[in-house]
Amino acid sequence: MTDIAAAVSPSTETTAALPARLAKGVIDRLVIIIPYLWLLFFFLIPFIIVFKISLSQSAISMPPYTPVMDFADGWSGFIGQFKKLSFDNYTWLTQDALYFNAYVTSLVIAAISTVLTLIVGYPIAYGMARAPATIRPTLLMLVILPFWTSFLIRVYAWIGILKPEGLLNQLLLSLHIISEPLVILNTYTAIFIGIVYSYLPFMVLPLYSSLEKMDYSLIEAAQDLGCPPTGAFWKITFPLSLPGVIAGCLLVFIPVVGEFVIPDLLGGSQTLMIGKTLWNEFFSNRDWPVSSAVAVILLLVLTVPIMFFQQAQARAQEQGK
C-alpha cells in the first residue's frame, strides 16, 4: 500500500499544479500579445488605410478621393481596382520642390531643437540626480508641472512674451539693455524657444532616470586617481548616461519633425515645415491622396533609421556578450 501511495502521489501533485501552469502560460502570452495588438490597431491598420488613400486619385466627392482596393464590387471588382493602383502621388512629390524643402526644413529644425534641448536639459537632469533624495520628488514634479496646463495655452503665452510689445521687450527696455524692441516673434528663434520649452520634460525625464541609477563612487575614484572633473564627466558620467541621451533625443526629435502648432503660431506664415504642409493639403487643398503620400514618406523617414539603430544596438549587445 505504501508503494502504491508513493506511486500515485506524484501524479496527483502534477494534476493539481496543471491549472496553475496553464494560467501562468496564458498570462505570459497575454503580456506579449497585448502590445502587439496595440500596435496592430493603432499603428499598422491606420498606416495601411493612409497608404491605401495615397495610392488613389483625388476627386470631387466625399471623401475627396476615388476608392481603391474596395470589396464593395466583389472579388472581381477588387482585382480591377488593384490593377488601377497608381504611384503618381509619390512621383508628384519628387517633382515639386515644396515638399522636399519642407522635409529638409523639418529635419534641420528638429535636429537643432534636439541639440538645444539636450544642452538645456542635461544640466537640469544632472542637478536633479545629484540633489538630496528628500527633494528629488519635488524637483521631478516641477519638471512635469507644465503638463498640467494646456499645450496650446502655453504656446499662446509665448506670443505674449516674445511679441514686440511683449513682456520680454518691456523688461529689456526698462533695464536699458536695448534701445528698441527686438524682433523675435515670427522667426526661427521663436520656434526654437517654443520647442525647447515645450519638449524639455521629454529630454529631462529619461536623462534623470539614467543619471539617478549611476554609481557616483566611480567619479570619486577617478578624481582620487588624478582625473579632473571635466575628464571624469566625459569619460564616466556621459558614457553611462548615453541610454538616457538617446531616449531623450528620440522622444524630442520624432514629434518635432511633424510639429505644426509651434511653427504656425510662433514662426509665422513663412515657416515651411512638413506638419504645416500636411495641414494645408488636407484642409485647404483637400487633396487627401497627396497628403497621405506625404505622411507615408514622413513615417518611413522617421521609422527606418530607428529600426536600423535598434538592429545595430542588438548586434553590439550580442558582440558584448
188-212 and 136-144 helices, crossing angle to 10°: 150
Would you write out the chain's pLDDT as a tens digit for each of its 321 residues? Answer: 445 444 445 555 555 566 666 666 667 777 778 888 888 888 888 888 888 888 888 777 777 777 776 655 556 655 666 666 778 888 888 888 888 999 999 999 999 999 999 999 999 999 999 999 899 999 999 999 988 888 989 999 999 999 999 999 999 999 989 888 999 998 999 999 999 999 999 999 999 999 998 888 888 888 888 888 888 889 889 999 998 999 999 999 999 998 989 998 998 777 888 888 888 888 888 888 888 999 999 888 888 777 777 777 777 677 765
Query: What's this model's pTM, rounded to 2 decimal places?
Result: 0.82
The answer to whether 240 touches 232, Cβ cutoff 8 Å, is: no
Q: What is the C-alpha to C-alpha distance for residues 154 and 160, in angstroms, rounded to an integer?
A: 10
CA distance 125 to 210: 9
Give the chain's domains with CATH numbers. Answer: 88-320 (1.10.3720.10)
Query: For the chain, what's the residue count?
Result: 321
Dist CA 196 CA 258 (whole Å): 15
Residue 246 contacts residue 273 (beta carbons within 8 Å): no
C-beta separation of 295 from 302 below 8 A: no
Ramachandran region of residue 228, left (φ > 0), alpha (ψ -120 to 50) or beta? Answer: beta
**Distance in angstroms (rounded) separating the CA atoms of residues 272 and 269:** 8
